[in-house]
Structure 1
Amino acid sequence: MTDAGLDSERPLIAHLLELRSRLLRGAAGLLLALACLLPFANRLYALLAQPLLDKLPKGGQLIATQVASPFFAPMKLAFFAALMVAMPWLLYQAWAFVAPGLYKREKRLALPLLASALALFYAGCAFAYFLVLPMVFGFLARVTPAGVAMMTDISAYLDFVLVLFLAFGLSFELPVALVILALLGWVTPAQLREGRGYAVVGIFVVAAVLTPPDVVSQLMLAIPMCLLYEAGIIAAAMVAPRQPGDGVDAG
């Protein structure tokens, strides 16, 4: 192989080694978070189950319909919690890998977008836990027919709650998505304002698909998304290239 060929391969090998290093560091951080949380897996599950237990009649409890559920359900929750805890570290590793190839303006925009996306995802999960779950379980407890006891399986409950967390966490990323679309030039703030009516309809459709089949959780997702859409318009108008007719006014 010629010297020119060797010189062309060196940058690729260096990038692959850097990628391996970042992946190993990210995996090590995730494993460390998991090791710290595993001893508290049962406490984490008890905390997660509290919104439902608060709405059950006195003496109500969750049940395990499978032999291994009392072991695997808390372990699954501990892994999800470790992923949430380690997410800033994982994003930092991804940022450290791609940042050297970005321009200064791209770096100035990418870092706030990453931080905003992470904060909005956490906010969506917290919104689901503190507001949505108590309202949903309160509604379901009120409409439960007489003579029927709510006895939810712990694995089914965990899957239900995690789906809600992901639905609300990802839905709260709407402003970041709108800002990225505006920065790419795919939409303008004026177009976002003009398409507000279609966006509201789409938001309610998405809320109906992502949430359980009850009106409470659908409204609890759709209403914040409508507000976040308006916030996304304002943020897009602040960072997107100026176009004729664009302005900060959201009217």
Structure 2
Amino acid sequence: MLTAKDVMTSEVVTVKPDTAVQDIAQLLYSQRISGVPVVDAQEKVVGMVSEGDLMSHVGAVGDAPPKRSWWLRLLGDAPDTAENYTRSHGRTAQDVMSRKVLSVSEDTPLADIARLLEKNRIKRVPVLTDGKLVGLISRANLLRGLAVAKPQQASITADDRALSDAITKELRKHPWGAFTNVIVQDGVAHLWGFIDAESERRAITLIAEEVSGVRGVEDHLTFRPVYEG
């Protein structure tokens, strides 16, 4: 069966706990992603920052969040109110991040990951090995796995994984290929990700074709969306 290791994004964009909120917003925009893991000095995940976390920040909405009535403040949970204030006014990742982080292992079946995302209404989950971040699974990764999996053989062989690792290793040597997601099944390499020029598409395809053992290449690369301000 397909597992997290087969479809995860292994070159993960991350931030540190002291990364400024504005820098995180710029990173999400430039990378065209909707969330990033927050990792400490030991590369362990301590939180997640999503678009939703930033949209409630006063820097994004341009005003303070609505005040609670005095009787709700009196009956409410003071620590929670303080936490909400910190999240809406904080300056760094550790102020605005979600600290409850769910995770999976490289061997977690995709079906289990899909249920985890659906049950908790989240869009992505980090993949950990010995507590350290080794990848990220998003809904898009799950769809890619579903797209390449054959109904009669929804699994990836050891040879396919080796080919995927070899292609990914070569792609990481180039800035325009480092974030390409590679899934190999039956010796056919499926390439997913964003490109900024047709020359990048050709170069990424050539790298995959030149890896010994690859029987074919399926190009699913798309141009990076342009967001107008």
More helix by share: 1
Q: Which has the larger radius of gyration?
A: 1
More strand by share: 2
TM-score by length of 2: 0.26
TM-score by length of 1: 0.24
